[in-house]
Amino acid sequence: MKRVILMVMDSMGVGAEPDADKYGDLGADTLLHAAENTDNFAIPNLQKLGLGNIQGAGGGRFVFAPEKLTGSYGRMQEMSRGKDTITGHWEIAGIETMTPFKTYPDGFPAEFIEEFQRDIGSEVIGNYAASGTVIIEDLGDEHEATGKPIVYTSADSVFQIAANTDVIPLERLYEICKIARKLLVGKWACGRVIARPYVKKDGKRVRTTDRRDYAVSPPEPTVLDHISGAGQTVYAIGKISDIFNGQGVTKSVHTTGNMDGVDQTISAMGQDFGGFIFTNLVDFDSLYGHRRDPSGYGHAIMDYDSRLPEIIGAMKDEDILMITADHGNDPVHSGFDHTREYVPLMIYGKNIRAGVDIGTRHTFADCGQTIADYLGVYETRMGESFLGGLLK
Ligand SMILES: O=P(O)(O)O[C@H]1O[C@H](CO)[C@@H](O)[C@H]1O
Ligand SMILES: [Mn+2]
Ligand SMILES: [Mn+2]
């Protein structure tokens, strides 16, 4: 039974795209800047798969001799107008977002806030663009004293609600997110509502792994729908199901972090089914990219690298492993938001040729189209399959 395992290293870009200046992201290079700022940075397993041989990746310092490669490789350019998680994942799955999701750099409109406050029966505080770890320190005392939830946004189309779970229990936080989700459509359109629970430990506020994303549904069927529509499994790991609002997903598990994401992927691979395992590893982005912590980022890449032999060891004969990203988040760039970058693509499998450079793909959708091609399901509207040049 054929399967594709696609792992998204959330935000691991490999260099600024040609239009990066329009996004304020000239010179961004997530992989290179994480590597440069991490002592003893070593990624032998990703190198074997071809990461260092991708055009421009890591400033050329991780190139392997072609005969040492076990995987094939390339890089993908984002065709959509945006650099957020939804836009990136949806493009991978075959959807082009030409009208960017609406953002609220100056906070959400007063009429929305009033209606939201009425619906949840409480005032809110915040309502500006902020880093999530900073705003809970800045407004945490007031939130904990009054019970008013903290709301904030970023350069992305997000309405984030942060709360201490001793003040607003987790289930209630999820409920108020769903209330916001219902309101944030039409003239108040917003890509995602995100629950940001935290606890106070030894006087410090720490976010928990119970984050939940409430996205809008994709506007048309994606490769996930085509695969599940053909009766095959679509096994979503991490926040994948949230990103697609459950559309096309047949089974989903949330994770507590990158290593749990790897564990869950290996456990899914051990089960007997044909179809698609789609994993998002969000720690790169949320714990290190947005926090502008390059050495934390570098260590997270190394930690993932060290798990690759296990992942590869769990592969069955007809499994294909693909590793990519959804946008950049250069940990030394100004600000605290994503960066417009090429994403890497590595492909490995017993029936896949090694050492082939599939070049620069002009859309992330080539990845989804190739998956549709391999699994023999309906094509997505966008992208070109690169399977032909890779099958043994
Ligand atoms: O600063 P934190 O709360 O991590 O939020 C970040 O995470 C959001 C979703 O990935 C991004 O839009 C960015 O705002
Ligand atoms: Mn992302
Ligand atoms: Mn992010």
Condensed to tens digits (0 to 9), the pLDDT of residues 140-171 reads: 999 999 999 999 999 999 999 999 999 999 99
Question: What is the whole-number distance in angstroms between the Cα of residue 350 and the centre of ligand 3?
Answer: 33
Ligand 1 site, residue 131, Cβ cutoff 6 A = yes
Q: How confident is the model at residue 101 (pLDDT cuts 50, 70, 90)?
A: very high
Tell me the pLDDT tens digit for each residue of 67-93.
999 999 999 999 999 999 999 999 999
Quick one: pLDDT at residue 176?
98
Q: What backbone torsions phi and psi does residue 171 show, to the nearest 5 degrees?
A: -60, -40
Q: How confident is the model at residue 379 (pLDDT cuts 50, 70, 90)?
A: very high
Domains 3-95+218-375 and 110-214 share a fold: no
Quick one: pLDDT at residue 17?
98
Distance between CA 32 and CA 342 in Å, rounded?
A: 12
Distance between CA 244 and CA 373 in Å, rounded?
A: 21
Ligand 1 site, residue 156, Cβ cutoff 6 A = yes
Among 154, 190, 205, 210, say which to mutate for ligand 1: greatest number of ligand atoms within 8 Å of CB: 154
Atom of ligand 1 nearest to the CA of 160: 3
Atom of ligand 1 nearest to the CA of 155: 12
Q: What backbone torsions phi and psi does residue 6 show, to the nearest 5 degrees?
A: -110, 120
| Token duo for residue 60 | 């050329």
Among 156, 192, 209, 329, say which to mutate for ligand 1: greatest number of ligand atoms within 8 Å of CB: 156
Ligand 1 site, residue 286, Cβ cutoff 6 A = yes
Ligand 1 site, residue 338, Cβ cutoff 6 A = no
Quick one: pLDDT at residue 115?
98
Question: What is the whole-number distance in angstroms between the Cα of residue 145 and the centre of ligand 2?
Answer: 33
Q: Which amino acid is at 138?
A: D
Ligand 1 site, residue 82, Cβ cutoff 6 A = no
Binding residue positions for Mn(2+): 10, 285, 290, 326-327, 338
Quick one: pLDDT at residue 124?
98
Question: What is the whole-number distance in angstroms between the Cα of residue 338 and the centre of ligand 3?
Answer: 6
Among 104, 139, 193, 194, say which to mutate for ligand 1: greatest number of ligand atoms within 8 Å of CB: 194
Task: Considering every ligand atom shown, identify the ligand nearest to the alpha carbon of residue 88 and give its number.
Answer: 2
Nearest CA to ligand 1 atom 13: 154
Query: At the top level of CATH, which class does the domain 110-214 belong to?
Result: alpha beta
Ligand 1 site, residue 11, Cβ cutoff 6 A = no
Ligand 1 site, residue 160, Cβ cutoff 6 A = yes
Closest CA relative to residue 28, chosen from 293, 298, 327: 327
Distance between CA 29 and CA 57 in Å, rounded?
A: 8
Tell me the pLDDT tens digit for each residue of 166-182.
999 999 999 999 999 99
113-134 average pLDDT score: 97
Nearest CA to ligand 1 atom 2: 132
Ligand 1 site, residue 255, Cβ cutoff 6 A = no
Distance between CA 375 and CA 2 in Å, rounded?
A: 6
366-388 average pLDDT score: 97
Quick one: pLDDT at residue 331?
98
Quick one: pLDDT at residue 200?
96
- Kindly provide the ipTM of the predicted complex, given to two decimals: 0.95
Ligand 1 site, residue 162, Cβ cutoff 6 A = no
Quick one: pLDDT at residue 350?
98
Tell me the pLDDT tens digit for each residue of 320-362.
999 999 999 999 999 999 999 999 999 999 999 999 999 999 9
Quick one: pLDDT at residue 365?
98
**Mean pLDDT for the chain?**
97
Among 89, 288, 290, say which to mutate for ligand 1: greatest number of ligand atoms within 8 Å of CB: 290
187-194 average pLDDT score: 96
Task: Considering every ligand atom shown, identify the ligand nearest to the alpha carbon of residue 289 and give its number.
Answer: 3
Q: How confident is the model at residue 230 (pLDDT cuts 50, 70, 90)?
A: very high
Quick one: pLDDT at residue 338?
96
Check if the beta carbon of residue 89 is closer than 8 Å to that of residue 278: no
Q: For the chain, give the secondary structure using H, E and C.
A: CCEEEEEEECCCCCCECCCHHHHCCCCCCHHHHHHHCCCCCCCHHHHHHCHHHCCCHHHHCCCCCHHHCCCEEEEECCCCCCCCHHHHHHHHCCCCCCCCCCCCCCCCCHHHHHHHHHHHCCCCEEEEECCHHHHHHHHHHHHHHHCCCEEEECCCCEEEEEEECCCCCHHHHHHHHHHHHHHCCHHHCCCEEEEEEEEEECCEEEECCCCEEEECCCCCCCHHHHHHHCCCEEEEECCHHHHCCCCCCCEEECCCCHHHHHHHHHHHHCCCCCEEEEEEECHHHHHHHCCCCHHHHHHHHHHHHHHHHHHHHCCCCCEEEEEECCCECCCCCCCCCCECECEEEEEEECCECCCCEEEEECCCHHHHHHHHHHHCCCCCCCCCCCCCCCEC
Distance between CA 107 and CA 129 in Å, rounded?
A: 7
For 3-95+218-375, CATH number? 3.40.720.10
Percentage, residues of the chain above pLDDT 70: 100
Quick one: pLDDT at residue 64?
96
Give me the residue spans of the domains in the chain: 3-95+218-375, 110-214
